């Protein structure tokens, strides 16, 4: 696995300075968000000069862009908001390979109109699933047009809140352009932590062949997505990383949900555990 990090972990006045910080920790790749160059996460327009600059500065430091963020609320209750997200995703997909990546990360979304990371009872309705399938059908058309991969993650606050629902969605959409982001800290509903190994084992059994990106963060409670540094919470990292290894995953493992001061400890922990697995 290739260790990487959300570039936004290093708040700097310039892209170059943020990338220097990544390089200083010996990491190999970044998850990129256009906020790192002072733009919206999903700009309405991305010019050639900006793509060239970003790709050049990343490559100059021996890094790669593992993924780029294309996150928008795919089941927002306002159809116009969903359509705007799709339009911006198309712009991003058209720029992705010039930026140096072919993987765009997604969220399946929530019915909450104000916070796309907050659970809503409407997520469990047939209408929410219908809207998700409609949005994702358009997403994979965009992916086909631009020869990129779209990757979503199961997350307890979103409409796809389990590995089983993620597997159902992959089957229903049926596109090789749709893949999985695996984040073990996002899988546990209230009361499920006691079944940690069972929940993780099921997730990798159902989704292992479809994983193109791993996330490394942690959780201090179940019932909501984890948002604390890897190795500082309750997730069994030995078991979690062993499942990636068993699945044959060799892609990016991206740190996030941490502050800059947490980076050395998290990187050291992951390197030590991956080395023992032979996956570093």
Q: Is residue 115 predicted with pLDDT exceeding 90?
A: no
Give the pLDDT confidence of 15-46 residue by residue, as tens digits: 999 999 999 999 999 999 999 999 999 999 99
pLDDT digit string (tens) for 191-233? 999 999 999 999 999 999 999 999 999 999 999 899 999 999 9
Query: Per-residue pLDDT for 278 more than 90?
Result: no
117 compared with 221, residue with greater pLDDT: 221
- Domains of the chain and CATH, by start: 2-277 (3.20.20.150)
Contact 92, 42 (CB under 8 A): yes
User: Are the CB atoms for 167 and 197 separated by under 8 Å?
Assistant: no
pLDDT over threshold 90, residue 91: yes
119 close to 160: Cβ distance less than 8 angstroms: no
Higher pLDDT, 117 or 244: 244
Category of 88 on φ-ψ map: left (φ > 0), alpha (ψ -120 to 50) or beta: alpha
Determine the number of helices (DSSP H) and then strands (DSSP E) in the chain.
8, 8
The rounded percent of the chain whose pLDDT value lies above 70 is 99
Query: What 8-state DSSP symbol labels residue 278?
Result: T
pLDDT in tens, 132-172: 999 999 999 999 999 999 999 999 999 999 999 999 999 99
Residue 257 in contact with residue 228, Cβ under 8 Å?
Answer: yes
How high is the pLDDT of residue 118?
Answer: 82
Mean pLDDT rounded to a whole number for the chain = 96
Would you state the pLDDT for residue 67? 97
Task: Quote the CA–CA distance of 170 and 175 in Å, as a whole number.
Answer: 7
**In angstroms, rounded to a whole number, what is the distance separating the alpha carbons of residues 128 and 175?**
20
Average pLDDT of 110-117?
Answer: 88
pLDDT value, residue 280: 60
Does position 235 have pLDDT exceeding 80, yes or no? Answer: yes
pLDDT at 83: 97
């Amino acid at each position: 696995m290739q260790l990487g990090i959300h570039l936004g972990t290093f708040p700097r006045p310039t892209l170059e300075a943020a990338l220097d910080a990544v390089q200083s920790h010996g990491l190999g790749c970044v998850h990129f968000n256009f906020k790192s160059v002072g733009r919206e996460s999903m700009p309405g327009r991305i010019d050639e000069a900006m793509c060239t600059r970003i790709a050049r500065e990343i490559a100059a430091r021996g890094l790669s862009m593992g993924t780029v963020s294309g996150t928008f609320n795919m089941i927002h209750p306002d159809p116009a908001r969903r359509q705007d997200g799709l339009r911006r995703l198309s712009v991003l997909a058209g720029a992705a390979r010039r930026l140096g990546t072919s993987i765009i990360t997604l969220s399946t979304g929530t019915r909450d109109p104000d916070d796309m990371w907050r659970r809503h009872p409407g997520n469990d309705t047939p209408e929410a699933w219908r809207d998700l399938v409609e949005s994702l059908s358009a997403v994979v058309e965009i992916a086909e047009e631009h020869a990129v991969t779209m990757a979503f993650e199961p997350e307890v606050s979103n409409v796809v809140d389990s590995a089983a629902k993620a597997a159902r969605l992959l089957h229903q959409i049926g596109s090789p352009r749709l893949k999985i982001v695996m984040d073990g800290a996002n899988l546990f509903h209230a009361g499920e932590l006691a079944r940690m190994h069972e929940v993780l084992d099921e997730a990798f059994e159902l989704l292992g062949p479809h994983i193109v990106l791993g996330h490394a963060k942690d959780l201090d409670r179940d019932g909501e997505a984890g948002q604390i540094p890897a190795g500082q919470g309750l997730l069994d990292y030995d078991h979690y990383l062993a499942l990636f290894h068993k699945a044959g995953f060799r892609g990016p493992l991206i740190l996030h949900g941490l502050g800059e001061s947490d980076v050395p400890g998290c990187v050291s922990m992951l390197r030590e555990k991956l080395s023992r697995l032979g996956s570093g």
